[in-house]
Amino acid sequence: MKIRRHARHLLGDYPNALRMRGLGFPRPVPAAYGAGAGRQVVIVPGVYERWHFLRPIADRLAEAGHPVHVLAELGINARPIPRTAQSVLEALRRLDLRGVALVAHSKGGLIGKAAMLEDAEGRIDRLVAVATPFSGSRMADLTLVPSLRAFRPRHPVIRRLVAERDVNARITSIFPAFDPHIPEGSAIDGGTNVRLGVVGHFRVLEDPEAIDAVLAAVERD
């Protein structure tokens, strides 16, 4: 029964992913994203995702007066976590951004934490991660795709990110009541954990309560 329920949630969430993928075509990054006097926000999507998956969240942040930055160089985010974290840091230097809130989904949260650990210039103030496998996901053991097997709990990168706790106090993890892609959950030791009532790895990105929680975490003093 538990396996059947897990499969139902997994299959039921994919239409949300397909709909979010469609949000990006053919719409460019809104010009209004660069305006505002609030905290600088950088969007970090999940694996095989572009920034459009976080568009409902990005729109809300921009409307609240936070400059929102989209990093085109991340592509579909299939590169290794450490390499992509360096790309994020290079973009922060290029754009000369400081006091940044990284707002991420799934793998993006792992990239965000990896970037925080290497942020010698102190440009990143905080990470707000939605549905991120901070301790890995046993679902990754079921695939042969290298970019997905990188989420295995025993993967060296995951093990290092779990062991490094110095930046956890600056991380807010927002996650659904059940995530079929991350059965272990997304709680992070020493961080701020926000568990919502919604179910689904992708559905949570459009959930009003989740969007409110992201905005609150970005604006928290």
Mean pLDDT across the stretch 43-63? 95
CB atoms within 10 A of CB 15: 12
The predicted-structure confidence for 87-97, as pLDDT tens digits, reads as follows 999 999 999 99
Is the dihedral angle over the CA atoms 217, 62, 105, 163 positive or is it negative? negative
Residue 37: both structure tokens together: 């006097």
Average pLDDT of the residues of the chain:
91
What order of strands is seen across the sheet that includes strand 68-70?
Answer: 68-70, 41-44, 100-105, 124-130, 171-175, 192-195
Query: Which pLDDT value is given to residue 1?
Result: 46
The predicted-structure confidence for 157-173, as pLDDT tens digits, reads as follows 999 999 999 999 999 99
Residue 39 pLDDT level (bands cut at 50, 70, 90): very high
The predicted-structure confidence for 14-38, as pLDDT tens digits, reads as follows 455 555 555 555 568 998 898 899 9
Interatomic CA distance for residues 30 and 46, integer angstroms: 20
